[in-house]
Amino acid sequence: MGAEWGREEEASQGVGRLMIRGSLVLDATGHARRLVEYDKKFDPGFQGAYGIVAEVESHPFALDTMLFMDWRDDHTHAPGLEAMRAANEKLPTFLYAMPFTKNKVFLEETALVTRPALDFPELKERLQARLKYLGIKVTRVEEEEYCLIPMGGVLPKHPQRVLALGGTAGERLIVFGLSLFVKSNNAARASLLARGIPGLIAMLGGLLPTLGDYYGDAESLKERKDAVDAAARKAAKAALAAAAPAASAASSSSGAKEAALSGSGSGAGGRS
């Protein structure tokens, strides 16, 4: 794959090649970087993650809320995890949690950016330690996720006739719009700002109420998990208590019916 510039008859030469002609070439091949030219070594950081979609006995997460970037490290303070705690202080990881039901949840341990990438076995070990601390018992793993995303990197050589977008331009997340903004002229930038700033202000206004208390309450996930389990045990005990009188009444009714049948049989025997 490559880009060539020249007259049409020159560009069309070649055997067994697909030629696509155009006045502008956009390279959106990601970090494969197939068309754009660079003059520096490509040395990005990496976002790594290990995740599972799992069935669990119970979990502490609200069903209508996704837990976003939970950096708490209480789980690394358990006895025997000194090495994990030291590693997490050097390269911390966080938890994403997205519950589907009270017994099914997506859980992901993520390293934001490291160079080199954090190993998947270490991410898995940290997730398992976190779940053990929270008392979340996995009964079945439906899916496993292994995620590795290059983050950043060098910028393309400038100027050149191929326009890089996204990861090809050494960017992430807001990459497409940022690429266009950086490479546009002043009039276009002014137009983009005029259109975009009101929407940005509205979005930030919606986020402001959440900034005062990121986690929403002072109750820890472990405390919430214990409360969920206690409520389940209380509900099960109440159900058993409610079922006991009905079972007793059914037993009494069955005994009375048997006695009546027995008495009826004795009477019939006496008459014969």
150 has a pLDDT exceeding 70: yes
222 has a pLDDT exceeding 70: yes
pLDDT for 105-127, tens place per residue?
999 999 999 988 999 999 999 99
The pLDDT value given to residue 185: 63
| C-alpha closest to that of 30 among 153, 118, 113 | 153
Choose from 18-32, 51-65, 196-210 the range with maximum mean pLDDT. 51-65
| Element containing residue 159 per DSSP (H, E) | none
Which is more confident, 119 or 181? 119
The pLDDT value given to residue 166: 74
Give percent above pLDDT 70 in the chain. Answer: 72
173 has a pLDDT exceeding 60: no
The pLDDT value given to residue 272: 41
Count other Cβ atoms within 10 Å, centred on residue 94: 19
| Residue 24 burial (10 A CB sphere; 0-12, 13-18, 19+) | exposed
CB 165, CB 27: distance < 8 Å: yes
Residues 26-34, mean pLDDT to the nearest whole number: 80
Dist. CA 126–CA 122, nearest whole Å: 6
The pLDDT value given to residue 92: 95
Choose from 6-20, 174-188, 253-267 the range with maximum mean pLDDT. 253-267
| C-alpha closest to that of 106 among 145, 139, 80 | 145
pTM of the complete model: 0.61
CATH 3.30.70.1990 segments of the chain: 45-151
259 has a pLDDT exceeding 70: no
CB 145, CB 127: distance < 8 Å: no
83 has a pLDDT exceeding 90: yes
The pLDDT value given to residue 190: 76
Count other Cβ atoms within 10 Å, centred on residue 109: 25
Long-range contact pairs involving 67-70 (C-beta distance under 8 Å, separation at least 24): 67/95, 67/96, 67/97, 67/98, 68/96, 69/94, 69/95, 69/96, 69/110, 70/94, 70/95, 70/96, 70/97, 70/221
134 has a pLDDT exceeding 80: yes
Pull the structure tokens for residue 261.
């049948």
CATH code for the part of the protein at 45-151: 3.30.70.1990
Which is more confident, 226 or 136? 136
Residue 236: band (very low, low, confident or very high) from pLDDT cuts 50, 70, 90: confident
Which is more confident, 163 or 54? 54
Dist. CA 247–CA 252, nearest whole Å: 9
Which is more confident, 214 or 151? 151
Secondary structure of residue 148 in the 3-state scheme: strand
Residue 252: band (very low, low, confident or very high) from pLDDT cuts 50, 70, 90: low
Pull the structure tokens for residue 79.
């006895």
CB 125, CB 51: distance < 8 Å: no
The pLDDT value given to residue 2: 64
List 111's β-bridge partners, or say none.
48
25's CB contacts (< 8 A; 6+ apart) are 3, 35, 161, 162, 163
